[in-house]
Amino acid sequence: MATYNLYSKQQSGQDSGVYRHDQIPPQLRNQFLHIFNDVIGSNMIGPMEVGEADQAAAGIRRILLKEYGKTFLSPDVQRCPRADLTEFFQRFADVNQFLDVVQLTFLVLRNTQVLSPRMSVKDGINELNQRFKEHRIGYQFVDGQLIKLSSEHVFQEITAPALTLLRENYLAGANQEFLCAHEHFRHARYKECLNECLKAFESTMKAICHKRRWAYNQTDTAKVLIKICEDNKLFPVFMENHLTGLRMSLEAGVPTARNKTSGHGQGVTPVTVSEEFARYVLNLTAANILFLVNSEKKCHD
């Protein structure tokens, strides 16, 4: 189902450069209800459709009840499982709980056959991502994970292209680690975010070395891997004059960030990693992965 650029939207005067992460407005909750019903299937077509749709909704609800340690999601205990679930995300769920429902809905329905859905899971994800943008809510659902956005420009120019490249089979390990870094960032686990950033960065270089049959060891650090890539002329020849600066940027950026803040014991005084620093490293990791993978595509044997 397409979204429409209504006149009222054009007159809303929203600042396209500002994202919010602290609330889910009622209008967006209602729009997700429509997406949910379109993707999961109608209750009103017939007994087979009712059974399939309600069974899928009950499965999503059952996971939430177990994880939250509850017996009902909404205050009205008389509601059926599907109504309990939809009432919950429409009226009672906080931001993280709403995002839990979003993530579970698409993950469960991706692996569940429902009869007569009005919208595919893929189209439902695309519409919800568009709705997030319309309301300036800083999340996008990508590859089964909710990505927390700080900037539309950074997401479109760096993060999204990096995620697209990481879908290649030989980069599966790096892709998993980079998505894990985003999941840690969304839940404010910033030390863990830094660790996964470095793992994704190192895994990208190891994958390139393996694909190109360049000698390396699984225990090689980022500094060693950068040198291997440099020695094998991964970087374009015309950038030779910039190699020193590039290498310093890579070594002083992602690897040093992890090594100094979260890769070793933190000592007597606990180390605090700020959201701003974690976001910087996350974006720097995406930019470096994008550069390395695109360089590999252009590299000649």
Looking at the chain, the domain(s) classified CATH 1.20.120 span 152-298
CB 159 within 8 A of CB 181: no
pLDDT in tens, 19-31: 888 899 999 999 9
Structurally, what CATH architecture does the domain formed by 152-298 represent?
Up-down Bundle (1.20)
pLDDT number for residue 265: 62
pLDDT in tens, 228-249: 988 898 876 566 555 545 555 5
Q: How far lies 57's CA from each of 37, 60, 95, 289, in Å?
A: 10, 5, 20, 38
What percentage of the chain has pLDDT greater than the value 90? 44
Residue among 254, 252, 235 at smallest CA distance from 294 = 235
Is 50 exceeded by the pLDDT of residue 7? no
Looking at the chain, how many residues does it have?
Answer: 301
Q: What is the pTM of this model?
A: 0.74
